[in-house]
Amino acid sequence: MRLGPVPAALVLGAAALAALLAQRLAAVAVIAGVLLAVSLRAPASRRRPYLVGILGSGLGVLVLSPFLTAQGFHVLWSGPTVPVLGKLDVTEEELSIAALNALRLVAVALAFTVYALLVDHDRLVSAAGFARRSALGVALATRLVPSLERDGVGFAEAVRGRGVPVEGVRGHARLVSPLVAGSLERATNLAEAMEVRGFGRPGHTKAPRPPWTRLDRAAAVAAGVLVLAAALWL
């Protein structure tokens, strides 16, 4: 039995919120671990860029933030004094906070990954009664992420195919502007296609969808309980 898209989105939102509210490292680690396990259900080729990005960002927070904050008294490493930043040292407390923040970031990003890769956005849009346009906008933006990735590779390939190397920050920066313009053009084409298909016309209806199951209802309740628990006890 599978969760419906609305309860699934509720659970994922609750997990992300719980990760932000929880103060215990272990609790956030468990949430991130569960989300990671769920995300592994997505096809490897689709999940790879998300997971690489998430792990990179998490590591970045873990490594850098102890140097950018000054908290705690249990010094593990004492470094030189750097202009603007001051004295560089790493304390046990800073490491602990960095680990918590890194895990929070990872958990929130994993919740989005699961939403992007495994949730049926169409039914989510359909369920959004009063905010259909906004829900559709979010769903389309999510769906266009892989297109953006493909466009980036395609631009680089077309430039290299002309014998022009695409190397370093400068080489890649040259592609940012056409990439942004390209996604705007794609969005315009999509808007045109939606317009001719009657989007925005008053009096729209919805195709009938399966009703919520017991599992869906239980998941919605569990989502609320998770947020409450994170705020009060975790």
Binding site for other proteins (CB under 8 A): 44-45, 120-123, 125-126, 136, 139-140, 143, 146-147, 154-155, 157-164, 174-175, 177-178, 181-182, 185-186, 189-201, 203-208
Instruction: Decide if 231 contacts 23 (C-beta within 8 A).
Output: no
| Environment class of 197 (CB within 10 Å of its CB; exposed 0-12, middle 13-18, buried 19+) | exposed
**Which of residues 92 and 122 has its CB atom nearest to other proteins in the complex?**
122
Which C-beta is closer to other proteins: that of 123 or that of 228?
123
Measured between alpha carbons, how far is 150 from 52 in angstroms, rounded to an integer?
17
Identity of the residue, 170 or 204, whose beta carbon is nearer to other proteins in the bound complex: 204
Contact criterion met (CB below 8 Å) for 27 and 229:
no
Whole-Å CA distances, 228 to 2, 12, 225: 24, 14, 5
Closest CB 84 distance from other proteins, rounded Å: 37
Provide, rounded to whole angstroms, the least separation between the CB of residue 9 and other proteins. Answer: 14
> Closest approach of Cβ 4 to other proteins, in Å?
14
Residue number, 52 or 221, with CB nearest to other proteins? 52
Cα torsion 150, 151, 157, 160: sign:
negative
**C-beta of residue 39 within 8 angstroms of C-beta of residue 114:** yes
Burial of 228 (0-12, 13-18, 19+ CB in 10 A): middle
- Measured from the CB atom, is 63 or 176 closer to other proteins? 176
Q: Output the smallest distance, CB 194 to other proteins, in A.
A: 6
* Closer by beta carbon to other proteins, 114 or else 230: 114
How, if at all, do strands 75-82 and 86-91 pair?
Answer: antiparallel
177 φ, ψ (degrees, to nearest 5): -60, -50
Q: Pick the closer one to other proteins by CB: 72 or 182.
A: 182
Residue 199 CB, shortest distance to other proteins, in Å, is: 5
The CB-of-183 to other proteins minimum distance in angstroms stands at 11
Contact in structure between 117 and 35 (CB atoms under 8 Å): no
Phi/psi of residue 87, nearest 5 degrees: -80, 135
Report in angstroms how near the CB of residue 189 gets to other proteins at its nearest. 4
